[in-house]
Amino acid sequence: MRTIHMLLTLLALQTILLALPALAIDSIEPQRAGSSPPPVRTGVDIEPQSLSMPPLYVQSLAATCANCHGTEGRALSGATVPGLAGRSADELVAQMKAFRSGERKATIMHQIAKGFSDTQTQLLADYFAAQKR
Ligand code: HEC
């Protein structure tokens, strides 16, 4: 009986987790006029075309850096990974591009930097530059 309960709970959790990305994408979708259903969205669709993206979009990009660089880019004291908060946006962009091109050797960032477009990299850099150290 307990095993069945556990399995059901896990199933419910999995359903919620699978639905979360869809919710996140929906919430950055601007309000549409009319009642036609929104088109199916792909990764390409959510590539930002401009630097005026909703804060939630930028925050969700920046959240992917928090595991290693600290919340809002503030590294804990004694952390081996450098903090990003309050640093010059130009410098952050330059470092990300150097990682991406392989000009700067890295243990992990050469892979991560490749996952972000120029626009996303600029959004991230502006976000971290605006955080207090
Ligand atoms: C899995 C851990 C991890 C994640 C996630 C991560 N980083 Fe890093 N980051 C590192 C490490 C480690 C370094 C040091 C260079 C190296 O060895 O890769 C670094 C270095 C950097 C540097 C250079 C800092 C300096 O002082 O020279 C920048 C800029 C940077 N990361 C930006 C980001 C951004 C932006 C994100 C999120 C999109 C991110 N990182 C996500 C681990 C991570």
Model pLDDT for residues 60-78, shown as the tens digit of each residue = 999 999 999 999 999 999 9
pTM of the model: 0.73
Q: How many domains does the chain have?
A: 1
Residue 106 lies in a domain: yes
In this prediction, residues 84-110 reach a mean pLDDT of 98
Is the model's pLDDT at 97 over the cut of 60?
yes
Residue 53 CA to its chain's centroid (Å): 13
Q: Hunting for tokens 């626009």 — which residue is that?
A: 119
Q: Which of 59, 60, 61, 69 to mutate to test the pocket of ligand 1 (most atoms within 8 A of CB)?
A: 69
Residue 84 lies in a domain: yes
Q: Which domain holds residue 109?
A: 51-129
CATH number of the structural domain spanning residue 78:
1.10.760.10
Protein residue whose Cα sits closest to atom 24 of ligand 1: 82
Q: What CA–CA distances, in Å, run from 94 to 39, 44, 54, 97, 99?
A: 36, 24, 24, 5, 9
In this prediction, residues 122-131 reach a mean pLDDT of 97
In the chain, the largest separation of any two C-alpha atoms, in whole Å, equals 59
Tallying the residues shown for the chain, one arrives at 133
Is the model's pLDDT at 18 over the cut of 70?
no
Q: Which of 65, 88, 95, 120 to mutate to test the pocket of ligand 1 (most atoms within 8 A of CB)?
A: 65
